[in-house]
Amino acid sequence: MKKTLLILAAVLCTVCVTAQPKLQRDNIDELLKALTLEEKATLLVGGGWGSMAIGSMTASSERLVPGAAGTTRPISRLGIPMTVVADGPAGLRINPTRQGTDMTFYCTGFPVGTVMASTWNLPLVEKLTTAMGNEVKEYGVDVLLAPGQNLHRNPLCGRNFEYFSEDPLLSGKTSAAYVRGVQSNGVGVSIKHFAANSQEVNRLQNDSRINVRALRELYLKGFEIAVKEADPWTVMSSYNRLNGAFTQQRRDLLTTVLRDEWGFGGIVMTDWGNKEGTVDAVNAGNDLMEPGVDNEIERIVAGVKDGRISQEQLDLNVRRMLEYIVRTPRFQGYKFSNKPDLQAHAKLVREATPEGLVLLENNGVLPLKEVKKVALYGTGSYDFIAGGTGSGNVNKAYVRNLAEGFKANGIDVDADIQRWYEQYIPFKKTDLKNNAIGTDILLGNPVLPEMEISRGFIEKKAAETDFAVLTISRNAGEGADRRAADGDWTLTGQERQMLQTLADVYHAAGKKLVVVLNIGGVIETASWKQIPDAILLAWTPGQEGGLAVADVLCGEAYPSGKLPMTFPVSYLDIPSSYNFPFNYRGAGRDRNRTAVKDVDYTNYAEGIWVGYRYFATAGKPVSYPFGYGLGYTTFAYGKPVVKVDKSGKVTATVTVTNTGSAAGKEVVEVYVTAPDGGLVKPVYELKGFVKTKELKPGASETVTVTIDPYTLASFNEATSAWETAAGNYTVHFGASAADIRCTAAFKLAKPQSWPVHKVLLPAEPVKEIVVK
Ligand code: BGC
């Protein structure tokens, strides 16, 4: 008996020692008690470089996702699973093939961020990203590292194609729609790169020096809108410094502003690197170090042991990680199929893309009528660029080109020209690959120099074809900014010559020339835009690009995109061009050298004068204004009605009528001029917008935009408050920032203000240019 009791006691004791809680939705307090210090530190550090490396995993490792950017680490004894995070933003980025299986894992190449913003159609963006989020979930990924929503401070930032706009409201609203769509699938996003990551040159070290007003009104505003409106699961802190300190180590940014002021409830993860100040990052409220390196775990453990990290801070970050983990499909044991409906998504992308294409010029040639055969010039016509390079490059199954697009629309493509290009393109690609330097050719499609084509050949072909299309291509991406040089910002001599020759020859034959811009960012257009008969800005609109462009040119679909940024006359017209890397090539890795302007630090001396805020206020001519875009029809705006209620909420209404002879959709842009209230302000700023539904000729729609008083506020550095001035306001209803169709006035009787923390200040105020 005694012996039996002893055995029983021993068994019970073992159970007591080994009984571990397993993570559940509602036992996070218990888990916090069960986790050791090392385990807690482990949860704050990702699975490591190459944790998802190619090849090392086979199809049978079904919980893993080869090609994903990273993971969080599991703690198996407590039932805490690993979770998987993968890039974005133009679709999910994972490896398309795996060892040991013939199955493929391609993802849809969606329109890039700039195209999404060019639609000005938030429900459409949400629909696209709902499909994108479905791929995230069905391929077993928990968080999409997207959207990218840094502001287009300067058109030459190499990653602008991933980002939305030069305007924080358009950027924030588009981002919020994007987030809602992805997250409606029960997976998360990571809005990035927080914050002021406006250039690629020396991106790991560069210090963005910005006065607080510009920082709050422009560079933080889009994030603020997305956080408040869409509740992203995660935020990615950027690589760069902001006013002296790394963003990922700034408590004032990641806790005071993001959480205390905006109410963010998710986790913050670093961008992909290993910076020394891990302890500072933890204390800042940066919960997850990605991709994660073992020495970061050691640093956290040491920091807690020597008191630099408090137990409360550690537990807070770990709690947030656990709260994140229990939301994930992986934690919930979701059985992903690895078979999203790629065909349905391709169809959706083809239908949606025309809404992001911007018709810049049209002398009546578009949509094309009674044409049978096209002469298709430019490498992009056959090797269409779907998206930019770098981590934003999606492994899609195919990219549709213009030749396919025209054929799908029943138009013959001249076979001789096609054959020439199809021989030239692979040859030139190999040549480029063999001579590639640095990141120029990283993960994606490089731009090929055009081949020389003689006038005699063009003349011969002009006689055999009904019209010509010239596609001009540019590409850019992570790791390098674009260059204010020929072949990037401006056309090459060869492109100019080809454009002129094509125009001369086709015009002499009584035929037309259409230019398609297959580009990721703004280029110079003022010097040549009068040469062709039409210009369609296709951007880099995803895998169905060639079909969607041809659909639009042939009138199967109509373009209804508008520019989310300004196209200036000249690069040096842009205020930030004086404080942006100028054709800089080099990594800037030598930390001991004397700081180099625009490389080691960048003064945002233009302050709030970014994009149309500058051009419209200074009255400076532009090539194409912010918000500009033609359609195949015209719209008239009726008499606007603007009302303001007691709380200061403004309701702006106008009726838009299709006055042309084709169907179309109109984007109504609502700009507001505010009384100065003691601050210098832009002549007007975008405060709301809406896109009509499809309107047939003669049809009308009454659209309404509401604007709350906080949205009308400007930031006053002296009082550290958002302030909405009392006085007379003007609402401008615009078809672009330079095409105001009607205005209406309202008055706010009382000023309102929203004080915020006096944080994020530069060491010295940045000396700003004066515009007004
Ligand atoms: C990029 C991020 C990306 C991450 C993971 C970084 O270099 O800046 O945008 O999400 O890599 O691939």
752-755 vs 721-724, strand pairing mode: antiparallel
pLDDT at site 57: 40
**What is d(CA 651, CA 643) in angstroms, rounded to the nearest whole number?**
5
Q: Please state whether 337 falls in left (phi above 0), alpha (psi between -120 and 50) or beta.
A: alpha
Q: Are 492 and 450 contacting, i.e. CB atoms less than 8 angstroms apart?
A: yes
Question: What are the structure tokens assigned to 596, written together?
Answer: 């180099």
Residue 138 Cα, ligand 1 centroid: separation in angstroms?
22
**What is d(CA 490, CA 496) in angstroms, rounded to the nearest whole number?**
9
**What is d(CA 284, CA 760) in angstroms, rounded to the nearest whole number?**
13
Q: Supply angle C-alpha 361, 362, 364, rounded to 5.
A: 170
Of these residues, 271, 481, 488, 598, which one is catalytic? 271
Ligand 1, atom 6: nearest CA belongs to which residue?
A: 272
């093939």: which residue's tokens?
Answer: 97
Ligand 1, atom 7: nearest CA belongs to which residue?
A: 272
- Whether 52 shows a pLDDT value over 80: the answer reads no
Ligand 1, atom 9: nearest CA belongs to which residue?
A: 391
User: Has 271 been annotated as catalytic?
Assistant: yes
Longest dimension (CA), the chain: 112
Residue of 92, 199, 204, 272 to mutate, ligand 1, most atoms within 8 A of C-beta = 272
Over residues 631-636, mean pLDDT: 98
**What is d(CA 145, CA 136) in angstroms, rounded to the nearest whole number?**
10
Over residues 671-675, mean pLDDT: 98
Distance of CA 125 to the CA centre of its chain: 12
Comparing C-alpha atoms, which of 380, 365, 416 is closest to residue 495?
380
Ligand 1 binding pocket includes 194 (Cβ within 6 Å): no
**What is d(CA 280, CA 4) in angstroms, rounded to the nearest whole number?**
56
Residue 323 Cα, ligand 1 centroid: separation in angstroms?
23
**What is d(CA 543, CA 106) in angstroms, rounded to the nearest whole number?**
12
Residue 287 Cα, ligand 1 centroid: separation in angstroms?
17
Residue 112 Cα, ligand 1 centroid: separation in angstroms?
16
pLDDT at site 58: 41
Examine residue 291 and say whether the peptide bond preceding it is cis (omega within 30 degrees of 0): yes
- Whether 121 shows a pLDDT value over 50: the answer reads yes
- Ligand 1 atom nearest 391 alpha carbon: 12
Split at pLDDT 50, 70, 90, the class of 501 is very high
- Ligand 1 atom nearest 88 alpha carbon: 10
User: How many residues can be counted in the chain?
Assistant: 772
């990035």: which residue's tokens?
Answer: 192
Residue 391 Cα, ligand 1 centroid: separation in angstroms?
6
Residue of 84, 240, 271, 481 to mutate, ligand 1, most atoms within 8 A of C-beta = 271
Split at pLDDT 50, 70, 90, the class of 503 is very high
Q: Are 358 and 561 contacting, i.e. CB atoms less than 8 angstroms apart?
A: yes
Split at pLDDT 50, 70, 90, the class of 590 is low
Examine residue 621 and say whether the peptide bond preceding it is cis (omega within 30 degrees of 0): no
Ligand 1, atom 8: nearest CA belongs to which residue?
A: 271
Residue 209 Cα, ligand 1 centroid: separation in angstroms?
22
pLDDT at site 245: 98
- Ligand 1 atom nearest 70 alpha carbon: 5
Residue of 85, 141, 145 to mutate, ligand 1, most atoms within 8 A of C-beta = 145
Residue 587 Cα, ligand 1 centroid: separation in angstroms?
17
Over residues 211-232, mean pLDDT: 98
- Ligand 1 atom nearest 193 alpha carbon: 9
- Ligand 1 atom nearest 239 alpha carbon: 8
User: Each residue of 579-594: b (16+ CB within 10 Å) or e?
Assistant: bbbeebeebbeeeeee
Residue 698 Cα, ligand 1 centroid: separation in angstroms?
48
Q: Are 28 and 319 contacting, i.e. CB atoms less than 8 angstroms apart?
A: yes
Residue 239 Cα, ligand 1 centroid: separation in angstroms?
9
Q: 648 vs 260, 670, 687, CA distance in Å?
A: 25, 17, 14
Residue 272 Cα, ligand 1 centroid: separation in angstroms?
6
More confident residue, 609 or 443: 609
**pTM of the predicted model as reported, rounded to 2 decimal places:** 0.96
Ligand 1 binding pocket includes 213 (Cβ within 6 Å): no
Ligand 1 binding pocket includes 691 (Cβ within 6 Å): no
Report pLDDT digits (tens) over 700-756: 999 999 999 999 999 999 999 999 999 999 999 999 999 999 999 999 999 999 999
DSSP lists the bridge partners of residue 669 as 689, 734
Examine residue 538 and say whether the peptide bond preceding it is cis (omega within 30 degrees of 0): no
Q: Are 605 and 766 contacting, i.e. CB atoms less than 8 angstroms apart?
A: yes
- Whether 11 shows a pLDDT value over 70: the answer reads no
Comparing C-alpha atoms, which of 522, 521, 504 is closest to residue 513?
504
Examine residue 89 and say whether the peptide bond preceding it is cis (omega within 30 degrees of 0): yes
Alpha helix stretches (DSSP H) within 333-414: 342-352, 402-408
Ligand 1 binding pocket includes 145 (Cβ within 6 Å): yes
Q: 323 vs 12, 296, 488, 567, CA distance in Å?
A: 32, 22, 46, 44
Q: Are 175 and 222 contacting, i.e. CB atoms less than 8 angstroms apart?
A: yes
pLDDT at site 441: 42
pLDDT at site 18: 58
Ligand 1, atom 11: nearest CA belongs to which residue?
A: 272
Split at pLDDT 50, 70, 90, the class of 495 is very high
Radius of gyration of the chain (CA): 27
Q: Are 192 and 139 contacting, i.e. CB atoms less than 8 angstroms apart?
A: no
Residue 52 Cα, ligand 1 centroid: separation in angstroms?
14
Residue 393 Cα, ligand 1 centroid: separation in angstroms?
11
- Whether 143 shows a pLDDT value over 70: the answer reads yes
- 3-class secondary structure, 342: helix
721-724 vs 685-691, strand pairing mode: unpaired
Q: What is the DSSP string of 71-103?
A: EBPPBGGGTB---EEEE-SSS----SB-BT---
Measured on CA atoms in the order 16, 17, 22, 26, is the torsion positive or negative?
positive
Ligand 1 binding pocket includes 200 (Cβ within 6 Å): no
Residue 86 Cα, ligand 1 centroid: separation in angstroms?
9
Ligand 1, atom 2: nearest CA belongs to which residue?
A: 271
Ligand 1 binding pocket includes 149 (Cβ within 6 Å): no
Ligand 1 binding pocket includes 391 (Cβ within 6 Å): yes
- Ligand 1 atom nearest 190 alpha carbon: 10
- Ligand 1 atom nearest 238 alpha carbon: 8
Comparing C-alpha atoms, which of 622, 638, 544, 135 is closest to residue 355?
544
Ligand 1 binding pocket includes 271 (Cβ within 6 Å): yes
**What is d(CA 105, CA 606) in angstroms, rounded to the nearest whole number?**
45
Over residues 561-584, mean pLDDT: 95
Ligand 1 binding pocket includes 90 (Cβ within 6 Å): no
- Whether 439 shows a pLDDT value over 50: the answer reads no
Report pLDDT digits (tens) over 335-391: 999 999 999 999 999 999 999 999 999 999 999 999 999 999 999 999 999 999 999
**What is d(CA 465, CA 371) in angstroms, rounded to the nearest whole number?**
9
Ligand 1 binding pocket includes 135 (Cβ within 6 Å): no
Report pLDDT digits (tens) over 446-474: 678 899 999 999 999 999 999 999 999 99
Ligand 1 binding pocket includes 69 (Cβ within 6 Å): yes
Ligand 1, atom 3: nearest CA belongs to which residue?
A: 391
Q: What is the DSSP string of 430-456?
A: HHHHHT--GGGGTTS-PPPPPPP--HH
């970061």: which residue's tokens?
Answer: 296
Report pLDDT digits (tens) over 636-664: 999 999 999 999 999 999 999 999 999 99
Q: Are 94 and 395 contacting, i.e. CB atoms less than 8 angstroms apart?
A: yes
Q: Are 350 and 542 contacting, i.e. CB atoms less than 8 angstroms apart?
A: no
Residue of 72, 87, 95 to mutate, ligand 1, most atoms within 8 A of C-beta = 87
Question: What are the structure tokens assigned to 226, written together?
Answer: 């997305």
Ligand 1 binding pocket includes 665 (Cβ within 6 Å): no
Measured on CA atoms in the order 20, 24, 29, 31, is the torsion positive or negative?
positive
- Whether 63 shows a pLDDT value over 70: the answer reads no
Q: Mean of the per-residue pLDDT values for the chain?
A: 94
H helix or E strand, kind and range, residue 305: helix 294-305
Examine residue 732 and say whether the peptide bond preceding it is cis (omega within 30 degrees of 0): no
207-209 vs 234-237, strand pairing mode: unpaired
Ligand 1 binding pocket includes 290 (Cβ within 6 Å): no
């696209």: which residue's tokens?
Answer: 128
Ligand 1 binding pocket includes 189 (Cβ within 6 Å): no
pLDDT at site 582: 85
pLDDT at site 60: 41
Ligand 1 binding pocket includes 87 (Cβ within 6 Å): yes
Question: What are the structure tokens assigned to 163, written together?
Answer: 């980002």
Least confident of 55-64, 271-280, 453-462, 717-726: 55-64
**What is d(CA 277, CA 288) in angstroms, rounded to the nearest whole number?**
13
Ligand 1, atom 4: nearest CA belongs to which residue?
A: 272
- 3-class secondary structure, 573: helix
* Helices and strands: H and E segment counts in the chain: 19, 29
Ligand 1, atom 5: nearest CA belongs to which residue?
A: 69
Ligand 1 binding pocket includes 274 (Cβ within 6 Å): no
Comparing C-alpha atoms, which of 448, 353, 337, 365 is closest to residue 405?
353
User: Each residue of 174-190: b (16+ CB within 10 Å) or e?
Assistant: bbbbbbbbbbebebbbb
**What is d(CA 176, CA 619) in angstroms, rounded to the nearest whole number?**
32
Q: What is the DSSP string of 644-662?
A: E-TT--EEEEEEEEE-SSS
């806790």: which residue's tokens?
Answer: 255
Residue 145 Cα, ligand 1 centroid: separation in angstroms?
8
Q: What are phi and psi of 79, to 5 degrees?
A: 70, 25
Split at pLDDT 50, 70, 90, the class of 15 is very low
Ligand 1 binding pocket includes 272 (Cβ within 6 Å): yes
